[in-house]
């Protein structure tokens, strides 16, 4: 079920790197909304992403700075994007940008992190800060390339 929701998240948005992943009016409105200004997002946005239109598959080229974070504990702020309806979440996506539509990713793959919490947490509308072990994930069909494991909410 989670895989279906993630796939729907990107497929229904007609995600492409050659155009904005959201309808232009929605993207314009979103630019006025809060974004996480955590400096780690700037580093993650250096990830080079390629999209093969024929296969519908994404690929990524990681730079040395991103590779050097693997296995290290990091702290980052962002917005929760739940993957299923629930009261508490152990698995969700974290985005630099404020989500505005369930089926429209609020950014590009280098602005989204796959998060796995140690313990389930409730949903927060405002940005949250989490801490956990950084990993690379190569979920090309989903456009997910970053992961945080054993994450904890930082108060």
pLDDT score for 66: 96
pLDDT score for 105: 62
Alpha helices in the chain (DSSP H): 2-11, 24-31, 39-44, 64-67
Q: Fold for domain 2-154?
A: OB fold (Dihydrolipoamide Acetyltransferase, E2P) (2.40.50)
pLDDT score for 2: 53
pLDDT score for 103: 61
For the chain, the three-class secondary structure string (H helix, E strand, C coil) is CHHHHHHHHHHCCCCCCCCCCCCHHHHHHHHCCCECCCHHHHHHCCCEEEEECCCCEEEEECCHHHHCCCCCEEEEEEEEEECCCCCEEEEEEEECECCCCCCCCCCCHHHEEEEEEEEEEECCCCCEEEEEEEEEEEECCCCEEEEEEEEEEEC
32-59 pLDDT per residue, tens: 888 999 999 999 999 998 888 888 888 8
pLDDT less than 70: residues of the chain: 1-23, 27, 101-106
């Amino acid at each position: 079920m989670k895989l279906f929701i993630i796939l729907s998240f990107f497929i229904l948005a007609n995600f492409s790197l050659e155009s904005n992943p959201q309808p232009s009016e929605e993207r314009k409105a979103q630019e006025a909304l809060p974004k996480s200004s955590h400096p780690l997002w700037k580093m993650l946005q250096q990830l080079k992403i390629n999209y093969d239109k024929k296969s519908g598959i994404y690929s990524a080229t990681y730079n040395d700075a991103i590779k050097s974070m693997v296995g290290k504990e990091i702290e980052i702020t962002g917005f929760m994007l739940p993957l299923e309806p629930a009261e508490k979440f152990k698995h969700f996506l974290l985005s630099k940008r404020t989500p505005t539509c369930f089926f429209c990713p609020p950014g590009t793959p280098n602005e989204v992190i796959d998060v796995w919490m140690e313990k389930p947490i409730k949903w927060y509308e405002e940005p949250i800060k989490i801490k956990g072990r950084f990993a690379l994930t190569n979920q090309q069909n989903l456009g997910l390339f970053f992961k945080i494991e054993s994450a904890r909410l930082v108060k």
